[in-house]
């Protein structure tokens, strides 16, 4: 089976890019299941029910989140009833929502798991142990499993790749918004990429207006970041998974820049 995974979609600029590109990408790659990280989809902070609906209508089947999960309060209204969204599984006990779920589409089944790193991010529960707990609960039968590890430090992400090698089909990083060039299939069959990159403006800083970010760096004063409306860039990946074994057979990075149309 083929899975298309789209990195952090940042605000209106990112949503515009997804809307524009998805029909073409579906044609080119024929993915059975499409998953997107939606933690920045609403003005860079969190996501709303209306935006989730917008993505579902475009053909996205499931969503992962991250440290911005709770930034838009709208999410508290529906996350417990939304079966297609996961937030980091290692958030404290009692947090709304869930950390893993099964996405079914086009006759295929994909387990999606969201975890968050603890290096340069809040000290939540251990993502490595939480991954073990979830995988234990899923049983021994081989399954297609996608892990979105939302983390800052490349070392923590690489370590998670090794930790889950042979136990997940894909371990992909999100959160840093910049696509890394270390895509590989680990020795025991787990496809791995440290960060898939974001979908948002390429004229700002990580999707936000550069002037505000620069002001913050220069003055250290509190600044309100706003989504940049410049030309977009789109980052995603396509992974092919052998359902009989749960192992990945192929990983393709996707990087497209508005006005350049570079596909790799």
Among candidate residues 45, 51, 49, 64, the one with its CA nearest the CA of residue 19? 51
Q: Which two tokens stand for residue 7?
A: 């990195």
| 235 annotated to a ligand binding site | no
| 209 annotated to a ligand binding site | no
Residue 40 vs 72, nearer CB to Fe ion: 40
Q: Which two tokens stand for residue 135?
A: 């995988």
Q: 41-80 mask for Fe ion (x: CB under 5 A)?
A: -------------------------xx-------------
Contact set for Fe ion, span 161-200 (CB under 5 A):
175
Residue 21 vs 199, nearer CB to Fe ion: 199
Q: Does 90 bind Fe ion (CB under 5 A)?
A: no
The values of phi and psi at residue 201, to 5°, are -65, 140
Q: Rule CB under 5 A: choose which of 12, 40, 201, 233 binds Fe ion.
A: 40
Q: Does 8 bind Fe ion (CB under 5 A)?
A: yes
Q: How far is the CB of 121 from Fe ion (least distance, A)?
A: 8
Residue 135 vs 227, nearer CB to Fe ion: 227
Residue 33 vs 198, nearer CB to Fe ion: 198
Q: Does 114 bind Fe ion (CB under 5 A)?
A: no
Instruction: Tell me if residue 32 is catalytic.
Output: no
Burial class for 110, CB neighbours closer than 10 Å (0-12, 13-18, 19+): buried
Residues found near Fe ion in the complex (CB under 5 A): 8, 40, 66-67, 175
Provide the annotated active-site residues. 68
């Amino acid at each position: 089976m083929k899975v298309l995974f789209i990195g952090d979609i940042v605000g209106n600029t990112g949503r515009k890019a997804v809307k524009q590109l998805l029909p073409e990408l579906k044609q080119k790659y024929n993915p059975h299941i499409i998953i997107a990280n939606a933690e920045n989809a609403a003005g860079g902070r969190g996501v709303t029910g209306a935006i989730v609906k917008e993505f579902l209508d475009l053909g996205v089947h499931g969503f992962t989140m991250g440290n911005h999960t709770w930034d838009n309060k709208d999410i508290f209204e529906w996350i417990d009833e939304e079966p297609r969204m996961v937030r980091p599984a290692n958030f404290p006990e009692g947090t709304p929502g869930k950390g893993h779920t099964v996405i079914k589409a086009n006759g295929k089944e994909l387990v999606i798991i969201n975890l968050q790193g603890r290096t340069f991010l809040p000290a939540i529960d251990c993502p490595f142990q939480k991954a073990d707990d979830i995988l234990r609960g899923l049983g021994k039968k081989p399954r297609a499993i996608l892990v979105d590890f939302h983390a800052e430090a490349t070392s923590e992400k690489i370590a998670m790749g090794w930790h889950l090698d042979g136990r997940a089909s894909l371990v992909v990083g999100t959160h840093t918004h910049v696509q890394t060039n270390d895509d590989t299939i680990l020795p025991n069959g787990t496809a791995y990429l440290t960060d898939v990159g974001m979908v948002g403006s390429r004229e700002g800083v990580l999707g936000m207006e550069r002037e505000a970010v620069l002001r913050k760096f220069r003055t250290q004063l509190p600044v309100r970041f706003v989504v940049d409306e410049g030309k977009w860039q789109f980052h995603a990946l396509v992974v092919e998974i052998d359902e009989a074994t749960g192992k990945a057979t192929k990983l393709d990075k996707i990087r497209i820049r508005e006005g350049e149309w570079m596909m790799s």
